[in-house]
Amino acid sequence: MKPQSSRVTSAGQSRGNAGPREAVPDREFVNAVARALAILHSFDGAEVVLGNHQIAARTGLAKSTVARLTHTLLRTGHLARVPHGDGYRLGIGTLTFASTALRGLELRRVIRGCLAEIAALVPGTIGLAARDGLEMVYLDYARAAHVLSLHSTIGSRVPLAETAAGRAWIIAQPRSEQESVLASLAERDAAAARALSTWLDDYRSRFTRDGYVISCGAWNPYVNGVGVPVFFPTYGATMVLVAGVLAAEYDRERLDREVAPLLRDLATRLGRLEDQVK
């Protein structure tokens, strides 16, 4: 998958983060931090190797700025230099961030077991995803052993606009946040933003009634999905329980009948478990 743009605007915001737009510059916003994070976001996986010129192209930052920041990130361990070359890859420092964050999800062990229970009943990929910019990232997943066509794993990224995971996340947000995301998406793909806006208008009443989203073939014509948003007060974030299955086996009616109830039940169980954790 092509990495999403991490360009930093003159106001200091990363376009990829789709944050709220401000009429005046945010005086508390530290541009240097945003630029360093934009550099880290330009790496789409621990195996990717980028040089300063490629990072500058992906982030829109000046080459001199990139050189200073990559030097700093190298010194702090967040980037590592590739042997026998002048490129960089993500360093151990970024990996420890990820592992620390995942350890902080006290419910993760319970969630993994619950995902496995559903995967034993549904021949697809069952996961927990969170939003990162204009993408959704799988934090955990379970998959039936005989499923070969669906390869989402921990860290896999899927587009927010076209997938059940992304659509479930955005439709659960307040209108102001939806508009902010649509505006950021329009900067990158106006057609995708218009399609998502139309879908939101058409689907809101159904989501209010059902509490879940079904997306059939919008991202991959061979894959249909169900997404159920779950708000975790402990983390102050909405995450999404998502099931991806082969379209040839599960049409919308079967997803409604067999898969969505399992995810809704799990969402209810997780809400009760988090209350106990508190």
Contact residues for 46 (Cβ-Cβ < 8 A; gap 6+): 89, 90, 94, 95
Looking at the chain, which residues constitute the CATH 1.10.10.10 domain(s)? 15-96
CB count, 10 Å around CB of 191?
9
**pLDDT band at residue 127, thresholds of 50, 70 and 90?**
very high
- CATH 3.30.450.40 range(s) for the chain read 104-277
Q: Inform me whether the pLDDT recorded for 276 exceeds 80.
A: no
The three-class DSSP label of residue 244 is: strand
pTM given for the model: 0.72
Q: What share of the chain is helix, strand, coil (3-state, %, to 5)?
A: 45, 20, 35
Q: What is the mean pLDDT of residues 70-97?
A: 85
- Fold of the CATH domain 104-277: Beta-Lactamase (3.30.450)
Q: How many residues does the chain have?
A: 278
Q: Where on the phi/psi map is residue 240: left (φ > 0), alpha (ψ -120 to 50), or beta?
A: beta
- CB-CB contact of 61 with 35 (8 Å): yes
Report the CATH fold assignment for 15-96: Arc Repressor Mutant, subunit A (1.10.10)
Q: Per-residue confidence at 149, pLDDT binned at 50, 70, 90?
A: low
User: Looking at per-residue confidence, does 34 or 233 come out higher?
Assistant: 34
Structure-block tokens of residue 249? 């086996």
Helix (H) or strand (E) holding 79: strand 79-81
Range with the poorest average pLDDT among 47-61, 158-172, 243-257: 47-61
Which residue is listed with tokens 């209010």?
A: 208
Number of Cβ within 10 Å of residue 205's Cβ equals 9
Average pLDDT rounded to a whole number, residues 31-60: 87
Residue 13: pLDDT over 90: no
pLDDT category of residue 70 using cuts at 50, 70 and 90: very high
Tell me the C-alpha distance between 252 and 229, whole Å.
18
